[in-house]
Chains A and B, each alone.
Chain A
Amino acid sequence: MPTVLERLNYALQHALETDERVYVIGEDLLDPYGGAFKVTRGLSSRFPQRILTTPISEAAIVGISNGMALRGLRPVAEIMFGDFVTLAADQLINHAAKFRWMYDDQVRVPLVVRAPMGGRRGYGPTHSQSLEKLFLGVPGLRVVAPNSLADPAELLEYAILQDDGPVLFIEHKLLYTRALLEPGGDELVDWEVHKPEGGYPTITLRVPGVETPQLTIATYGYNFELVRAAAHELMYEHEIFPEIVLFTQLSPFELEPLFEALRRSKRLLTVEEGTLTLGWGAEVAARAAESDLPGLKVRRAAALDMPIGSSKPIEDGSLPSQAEIVRLALELAQ
């Protein structure tokens, strides 16, 4: 199977081929370098006029992309490290997310901003974060994250070609080298996968034959890898059978598939790599609580509320681990 990176690269290439309004804009995108994480490799050789390499100017990268989108193009901006998206926060929040509504629905902003997030590579406090939580709940801005199961190419192409609003597209760095999971393949042998139609599907993974799962694990992005490993451990070492709800759209929050699962399990564990406080899981948990499910119990796995260290023991110690997911799951299942 192809890797996530290959699928993202293919999506950009295919979008550029399909629609001449598509432009890719960001730092160090040109071949032979092809971008810091190589997602744009080969594109500038094939589309030299439409791959725009820029100075180190995140506000202008996103701002210029905003203007291009407002005037009928479909730009895809790359933020080299997702941590740098704070430099473009004004453009995302006060411009891209506002234009359509504040101009009374008279304009569209078909913009995609791709941001590689996440740690576990030793890059230290400012190159390892998962900052997407800062952009959740911004009206007018969609936040999307691919994973190894929902084809990242389909997600990215949909965002570029079909979505007329701004999309912040969160790519965890560790996903790039992961091969896509094959339905029916070894990695998914324990699971029955329900993937609905739609641009940003919420996927449910159930253990065949288990009518009442002992807990529901909600997650997105790279953390699905950890959750799968933790689920394996729970099943084979503890005889606890979870259900996994895997989101591709983080914001706006559309949680009905999760509530549907919680009606059976009544136990919710959210797993994310951002810091715990006011994170994605906090909002998911609050909404689950408001759904008045009797006897609902909740735990959240997330990074500790501290900066991410460069040294491996410090970094690993602050980010949610398989062991932590198992520990919280056992608490819930008791």
Chain B
Amino acid sequence: MSDDYSLYRTMLLIRRFEERALAEFSGGKLFGTTHAYIGQEADAAAIFSLTDPDDIVFSSHRCHGHFLAYGGDPYLLAAELMGKATGLVSGRGGSQHIHWRNFYSNGIQGGIVPVATGSAYAEKLKQTGKIALVFTGDGTLGEGALYESLNIASLWQIPVLYVVEDNRYAQTTPVALGVSGSMAGRFAAFDIKTWELDSTDVLAIRPQAAEAVDYVRGEIRPAALILHTYRFAAHSKGDDVRDRAEIARAREKDPLLIHGARLDEAEKARAEAEVSAAIDEAFLRAAADPFPAMPGA
């Protein structure tokens, strides 16, 4: 299986999973809320094609794409979204609070950043060679705990990669109203080496991400990877106040279109068939699963 195919398939898996999750949500099958990663797939696909399976990952409310690219099972995630006993954490966490192997997510903005930093530090102290990655967005740049973490990570040379996926909006607040100055300048102030690019092309992101990941692992130091992107879907569900024309322009740079152009039609059809079957199986199986009993009951 070629790299190109595999990257495409990962992005398509995320896209179709999120589309299905939104549809199931509208059908009343999901509990709580869900935050779709649609439009940002190239970031996760690129980064997780470079990490080691044992690396530590911390993600946020928008964690499905990261989880699937990490290698997580769409069925276990679907069951969690549906609040089923068979879900990743037996229905306790739902969309934003999942854990599997070395993947953790929490719905508190900023709070995961020191936890990820401490996890990376533990791995450094244990000399395991593992690094940690923590995914934040432009909105999280408003949280103080993030800057406390950057300061200490730099002082203590902690092998953690801070990934900022700037999707231009913190919920409904555009970057222009939420982030002053320079994003990269924030990391530079702490002497944290930073890679930054504005692209939804997985093959453009990948070499930059590779440099960043290799640097963190090789130098045992923190780094930042700032990826300017765009989410096509609403923040969560029906809360989109953005200009339709702006979204349409962003969709012209759909990561699936850009990278899909490198595959022939047969390959794309095969990816579509494989992914559709996997997603169908995941959601149908999850739907038939039982709800959890009250813990301790």
Residues on A close to B: CB < 8 A? 23, 52, 54-55, 57, 59-60, 62-73, 75, 90-91, 94-95, 98-99, 101-104, 106-107
Identify the closest chain B residue to A67 (Cβ).
B118
How many chain-B residues does the 8 Å CB contact rule pick out?
36
* 13 A-B residue pairings within 8 Å (CB atoms): A60-B149, A63-B113, A63-B118, A63-B145, A64-B152, A67-B116, A69-B118, A70-B122, A73-B122, A90-B145, A95-B106, A99-B104, A103-B93
Does B56 count as interface, using CB distance less than 8 angstroms?
Answer: yes
Residues on B close to A: CB < 8 A? 56, 88-90, 92-93, 97, 99, 104, 106, 108, 111-123, 125-126, 132, 144-145, 148-149, 151-152, 155-156, 295
Say yes or no: B121 contacts A64, CB within 8 Å: yes
Q: Which residues in B have their C-beta under 8 angstroms from that of A103?
A: 89, 92-93, 97, 99, 104
Which of A67, A90, A101 makes the CB contact (< 8 A) with B92?
A101
**A72-B122, A95-B115, A104-B92 in contact; A63/B149 too (CB < 8 A)?**
yes
Q: Which residues in B have their C-beta under 8 angstroms from that of A65?
A: 118
Say yes or no: A63 contacts B151, CB within 8 Å: no
B129 CB, nearest partner CB in chain A, Å: 13
A140 CB, nearest partner CB in chain B, Å: 12
Say yes or no: A71 contacts B111, CB within 8 Å: no
Which of A64, A70, A71, A101 makes the CB contact (< 8 A) with B149?
A64
Identify the closest chain A residue to B150 (Cβ).
A60
Say yes or no: A57 contacts B93, CB within 8 Å: no
Q: Which residues in B have their C-beta under 8 angstroms from that of A91?
A: 111, 114-115, 145
Say yes or no: A68 contacts B118, CB within 8 Å: yes
**A103-B104, A104-B89 in contact; A60/B122 too (CB < 8 A)?**
no
Say yes or no: B115 contacts A67, CB within 8 Å: yes
Identify the closest chain A residue to B106 (Cβ).
A95
Say yes or no: A102 contacts B89, CB within 8 Å: yes
**A60-B152, A63-B114 in contact; A102/B97 too (CB < 8 A)?**
yes
Which of A55, A70, A102 makes the CB contact (< 8 A) with B119?
A70
Identify the closest chain A residue to B87 (Cβ).
A104
Q: How far is the CA of A314 from the CA of B29 in the complex (A)?
A: 59
Q: Which 4 residue pairs across A and B have the least CB separation, nearest first?
A: A63-B114, A67-B118, A64-B118, A60-B148
B104 CB, nearest partner CB in chain A, Å: 7
Q: How far is the CA of A266 from the CA of B155 in the complex (A)?
A: 58
Q: Which residues in B have their C-beta under 8 angstroms from that of A72?
A: 122, 126
Q: How far is the CA of A83 from the CA of B45 in the complex (A)?
A: 44
Q: Which residues in A have their C-beta under 8 angstroms from that of B149?
A: 60, 63-64
Q: How far is the CA of A57 from the CA of B155 in the complex (A)?
A: 13
Given contacts A69-B118, A106-B89, 19 further A-B contacts (CB under 8 A): A23-B125, A64-B114, A66-B118, A67-B115, A67-B120, A67-B121, A68-B118, A70-B115, A71-B118, A72-B122, A90-B108, A90-B111, A91-B111, A91-B114, A94-B106, A95-B112, A103-B93, A104-B90, A104-B93
Q: How far is the CA of A64 from the CA of B153 in the complex (A)?
A: 10
Q: How far is the CA of A104 from the CA of B92 in the complex (A)?
A: 7
Say yes or no: B152 contacts A54, CB within 8 Å: yes
Q: Which residues in B have their C-beta under 8 angstroms from that of A60?
A: 114, 117, 145, 148-149, 151-152
**A60-B145, A95-B108, A102-B97 in contact; A67/B126 too (CB < 8 A)?**
no
Q: How far is the CA of A91 from the CA of B126 in the complex (A)?
A: 23
Q: How far is the CA of A64 from the CA of B124 in the complex (A)?
A: 13
Say yes or no: B145 contacts A59, CB within 8 Å: yes
Identify the closest chain B residue to A58 (Cβ).
B148
Q: How far is the CA of A52 from the CA of B115 in the complex (A)?
A: 16
B158 CB, nearest partner CB in chain A, Å: 9
Identify the closest chain B residue to A62 (Cβ).
B114
Q: Which residues in A have their C-beta under 8 angstroms from that of B56?
A: 71
Q: How far is the CA of A161 from the CA of B291 in the complex (A)?
A: 37
B284 CB, nearest partner CB in chain A, Å: 23
Q: Which residues in B have their C-beta under 8 angstroms from that of A54?
A: 152
Say yes or no: B106 contacts A107, CB within 8 Å: no
Q: How far is the CA of A65 from the CA of B111 in the complex (A)?
A: 12
Q: How far is the CA of A73 from the CA of B122 in the complex (A)?
A: 7
A122 CB, nearest partner CB in chain B, Å: 30
B149 CB, nearest partner CB in chain A, Å: 5
Which of B88, B97, B148 makes the CB contact (< 8 A) with A57?
B148
Q: Which residues in B have their C-beta under 8 angstroms from that of A106?
A: 89, 99
Say yes or no: B111 contacts A55, CB within 8 Å: no
**A71-B119, A71-B122, A103-B104 in contact; A55/B155 too (CB < 8 A)?**
yes
Q: Which residues in A have their C-beta under 8 angstroms from that of B111?
A: 59, 63, 90-91, 94-95
Q: How far is the CA of A64 from the CA of B150 in the complex (A)?
A: 11
Q: Which residues in A have their C-beta under 8 angstroms from that of B97?
A: 98, 102-103
Q: Which residues in A have their C-beta under 8 angstroms from that of B116?
A: 67
Identify the closest chain A residue to B113 (Cβ).
A63
Q: Which residues in A have their C-beta under 8 angstroms from that of B121?
A: 64, 67-68
Q: How far is the CA of A106 from the CA of B117 in the complex (A)?
A: 20
Q: Which residues in B have their C-beta under 8 angstroms from that of A71?
A: 56, 118-119, 122-123, 126
B190 CB, nearest partner CB in chain A, Å: 11
Which of B88, B122, B144, B155 makes the CB contact (< 8 A) with A67?
B122
**Residue of A64, A95, A99 most packed against chain B (CB within 10 A):** A64
Q: Which residues in A have their C-beta under 8 angstroms from that of B132?
A: 67
Q: How far is the CA of A102 from the CA of B89 in the complex (A)?
A: 7
Q: How far is the CA of A94 from the CA of B119 in the complex (A)?
A: 17
Q: Which residues in B have their C-beta under 8 angstroms from that of A73?
A: 122, 125-126
Identify the closest chain A residue to B80 (Cβ).
A104
Q: Which residues in A have their C-beta under 8 angstroms from that of B89?
A: 102-104, 106
Q: How far is the CA of A67 from the CA of B145 in the complex (A)?
A: 14
